[in-house]
Structure 1
């Protein structure tokens, strides 16, 4: 013992054990991420070299569709009066001249949202309001199933079969060329996912901003590699096209309804469920024509800590916990690896908590050494080695995240991405704790309620007469 009594001795033990646990956890996670980084670098080198098997740069590089078809766009809406009219007007404006139908789901006990949808539907013939039979909120999947029934009725009445179902939310800013992209690729794949790009919030640079960092990296690198490894591609729930025949086959298995109303993250599970049935999914990044930029979906994400934690709690519970329980482990090595990554959020949060606690205890020990005759214990060689390696990998990780944020949002946001990693970690730890509580104490005999967050729609995206 190095002086200071039993309390300091206990603090030394806690610091050592927490630091070792965190160091080993960080090393495993960092090596996992490093493998994805290296695979992405290899892919980019092949793409720059003009390899024929590399991903296309732009939509013009894709072959024209064999049979152009009609596309159904599903937009479930509960308590969305603040955004739904602007979103629908913007979507109709951007999709002008294309073959599509908007199916917008709402509820009988949400008259404000219904009124906003009706205002657009009176002027736009390709907007159809569908009222769910039960009062809301039920679940998002339940609303989507109501839209599916409406699609089947329209097909029966018109004699025309839709080519795909495109998923969007009530706050989405769509891209004008996404239907053209889906029309080309849905003939070769049963699921096509385009990137999601969070919009920076001028009054929430840190909370809303951390979504910018996470999606820039996840949809700029992680899902790109997941697709290149031919692992199952999960749907993001927006900016996703599903082949009509594939959804129909899934509905036939599930009693006529393709979306699982008992799932917290029905979009994520849908993509993996299709992959387990041998269906092809792909994640595609390419640019539109006429300087339209990346074909992607844009949207504002939660701007307050409480709303961000609430949303992340649902994601963690649905993917890491219920997803494990409901989907299990299927597929080959690549699928197993990707599911480990999906479900490691709880463990990652524990590692982060251990690291922050070790830092706090270490700071207390340092203060004790400066203020008293207490002597700090020497660091063990194993811990010193791990800390050195992890420090180097941490610098690499922060640089990679900043780089991907910079690709999308520019240099200033890239610089903010480094300190914003702390905000991301705090939200992840709180969400993981709440997700575990939800999972342990939730009633399994009751379907999950639609746990939505408040949405805003960017004024700059609203078309002007």
Structure 2
């Protein structure tokens, strides 16, 4: 078959070569970005600007005392399988009488309400808040209902809370986390603690690939972000907000501090507080036994559930965030926003990269059969390919090292092939996020497209190294 003066095979090889140059250039930009973050982390680690302190053994103030009343918000929708263990564990490891746990349930979700009542057994530190609408609306809407309940309680008691802590129904909190947040909020308005996604033996690839991502993100990226003084986004769990900062945000937003129309209201929360002049911090501290003080949880084990969850993250952070938060003028914040919002572009480039691998194999086969001659590789393309190869090797090394630090060397090695699982899920989520974003532009409502949770770390007799 001849197309103009070229055969189909010649056109195929030519297009494949040009697309390879295009993809290699954009991948090189991403590799330079990652390399810059790696170098910043290593330099700050060597110079002492980044460190992970340990609590002193037997220090009662670091474990039990609070500066004032604390409110914990847990929004729920059909979480009867995990909310009970979460509350039992939380009430056990956080014995402080100053804590009130606000659990938001919808009026058409009796099973979750029953699980909350059964687990708490009348403990006065738990406040069951019933939403007046049928669920699910949105997570932010449920959080706003909890905020209004807190305001009502403060009026009745005449005493204001000093901080509000956000958690999800499936979280296993650390015993020292509450007091650590309390102390950190003496000098900040928003504080985020690390999240550890525990490896799951029954889902070593899909469910456990979150372990690798969070180990690197919350072990390096957010650490550098904090050290550089950039705004800290919220992860939705293990984050504390100063009560006065939340009240100021609510006043600016018409009484609702959490953006109901946002899919990632937790991510926006930290950035909005920073935009208002508040200080955000990311705190990594280890207990006296070496464990990382973090929120531990199991993440989705199924492909569809994982894609849905990452669709929501990508849609809310990368696409909605562009519209809702705009772009910051501070260079370091602009850098971090570009990193946060590159998800859809990265998904497109991953599709292109995997497609080019197939095309390259076909081109080589055509060349071996003497059907077409391959074009010469230019010095520019050669340099870009070598740069990308080095960058990929560095990504594998970094991912393995940060995963191994939290979960052991076996998980660190498995993290390398799990990167491909992460990429495939990102590609699928990117397509869905783009479609969902276009629908919202046409007026589609934002709903709580949450993932189901069935397992809880507190129910296991033993957990991996990170949960010990």
TM tier relative to shorter chain: over 0.9
1:335 matched to 2:336? The reply is no
Deviations 1:276-302 (A, max 9, x none): 00000000101123x161110011111
Q: CA deviation at 1:459?
A: 5.2
Match of 2:125 in 1: 126
Match of 2:73 in 1: 74
Q: CA deviation at 1:16?
A: 1.0
From 420, 423, 434, the counterpart of 2:418: 420
For the residue of structure 2 that corresponds to 1:104, the secondary structure is: strand
Q: CA deviation at 1:54?
A: 4.9
Match of 2:173 in 1: 174
1:57 matched to 2:79? The reply is no
Judge which range, 55-64 or 317-326, deviates more: 55-64
Cα distance in 1 between the residues matched to 2:118 and 2:363: 65
Deviations 1:18-56 (A, max 9, x none): 211111111100110111111111121123xxxxx6545
Unaligned residue ranges in structure 1 (runs of 5+): 48-52
For the residue of structure 2 that corresponds to 1:205, the secondary structure is: coil
Cα distance in 2 between the residues matched to 1:71 and 1:25: 47
Q: How many residues align?
A: 458
Is residue 89–residue 463 contact of structure 1 (8 Å, CA) maintained in 2? no
Cα distance in 2 between the residues matched to 1:320 and 1:303: 24
Cα distance in 2 between the residues matched to 1:390 and 1:254: 45
Is residue 285–residue 295 contact of structure 1 (8 Å, CA) maintained in 2? yes
Is residue 196–residue 295 contact of structure 2 (8 Å, CA) maintained in 1? yes
Is residue 137–residue 449 contact of structure 1 (8 Å, CA) maintained in 2? yes
Cα distance in 2 between the residues matched to 1:282 and 1:140: 24
Deviations 1:51-75 (A, max 9, x none): xx65451244999699711110000
Deviations 1:390-447 (A, max 9, x none): 1112111110111101111111111111111111111111111111111112255454
Cα 1:165–1:456 shift into 2, 3 Å: same
Instruction: Return the TM-score normalized by structure 2.
Output: 0.93
For 1:180-199, what aligned pairs fall within 5 Å after superposition? 180-199=179-198
Judge which range, 451-460 or 393-402, deviates more: 451-460
1:30 matched to 2:28? The reply is no
For the residue of structure 1 that corresponds to 2:451, the secondary structure is: coil
Is residue 85–residue 458 contact of structure 2 (8 Å, CA) maintained in 1? no
Cα 1:417–1:54 shift into 2, 3 Å: closer
For 1:262-281, what aligned pairs fall within 5 Å after superposition? 262-281=261-280
For the residue of structure 2 that corresponds to 1:74, the secondary structure is: strand
RMSD, matched Cα: 2.4
Q: CA deviation at 1:206?
A: 1.1
For 1:43-54, what aligned pairs fall within 5 Å after superposition? 43-47=44-48, 54=50
Match of 1:249 in 2: 248
Match of 2:466 in 1: none
Cα distance in 2 between the residues matched to 1:298 and 1:70: 24
For the residue of structure 1 that corresponds to 2:137, the secondary structure is: coil
1:388 matched to 2:352? The reply is no
For the residue of structure 1 that corresponds to 2:72, the secondary structure is: strand
From 397, 400, 403, the counterpart of 1:402: 400
For the residue of structure 1 that corresponds to 2:127, the secondary structure is: strand
Q: CA deviation at 1:121?
A: 3.2
For 1:76-115, what aligned pairs fall within 5 Å after superposition? 76-97=75-96, 99-115=98-114
